[in-house]
Amino acid sequence: MTPQIGGPRAVLTERQVRSFVAGRLATEDLDGRSVCVVVPDGTRSCPLPLLLSAVRDALHDRVSRLTVLIALGTHAPMSRTELIPGLHAVNHEWWEPSTFASVGAIGAGRVAELSGGLLRQEVDVRLNRAVVEHDVALVVGPVFPHEVVGFSGGNKYFFPGVAGADIIDLSHWLGALITSSEIIGTRGITPVRALIDEASSLIPTRRLAFCVVVRSGSDELHSMAYGTPEAAWAAAAEVSSQAHVRYLDRPVKRVVSLIPAKYDDMWTAAKGFYKLEPVVADGGEVILYAPHVTTISAMHPEIEEIGYHCRDYFTKQWDRFKHLHWGVLAHSTHLRGAGTWDAGHGERCRVEVTLATAIPEQVVRRAGLGYLDPAGVDLDALAADPETLVVPQAGEVLYRLRA
Indicate if 114 and 212 belong to the same structural domain. yes
Indicate if 210 and 296 belong to the same structural domain. no
Host domain of residue 25: 4-243
Q: What is the pLDDT of residues 313-335, one digit of tens each?
A: 999 999 999 999 999 999 999 99
Residue 79 is predicted with a pLDDT of 75
Residue 83 is predicted with a pLDDT of 63
DSSP string for 116-159: TTS----EEEEEEHHHHTSSEEEEEEE--EETTTEE--GGGGTT
Mean per-residue pLDDT of the chain: 95
Q: Per-residue pLDDT for 75 more than 80?
A: no
Indicate if 215 and 259 belong to the same structural domain. no
Q: Which residue, 43, 71, 39, 74, is CA-closest to 330?
A: 74
Helices 14-26 and 48-59 sit at what angle, rounded to 10 degrees? 40
Quote the percentage of the chain above a pLDDT of 90. Answer: 89
Indicate if 102 and 12 belong to the same structural domain. yes
Per-residue pLDDT band at 41 (split at 50, 70, 90): confident
Indicate if 253 and 365 belong to the same structural domain. yes
Indicate if 45 and 161 belong to the same structural domain. yes
Give the end of a domain, one of 243, 258, 277.
Answer: 243
Per-residue pLDDT band at 241 (split at 50, 70, 90): very high
CATH of the domain at 323: 3.90.226.30
CATH of the domain at 190: 3.40.50.11440
Indicate if 38 and 155 belong to the same structural domain. yes
Indicate if 253 and 221 belong to the same structural domain. no
Indicate if 226 and 333 belong to the same structural domain. no
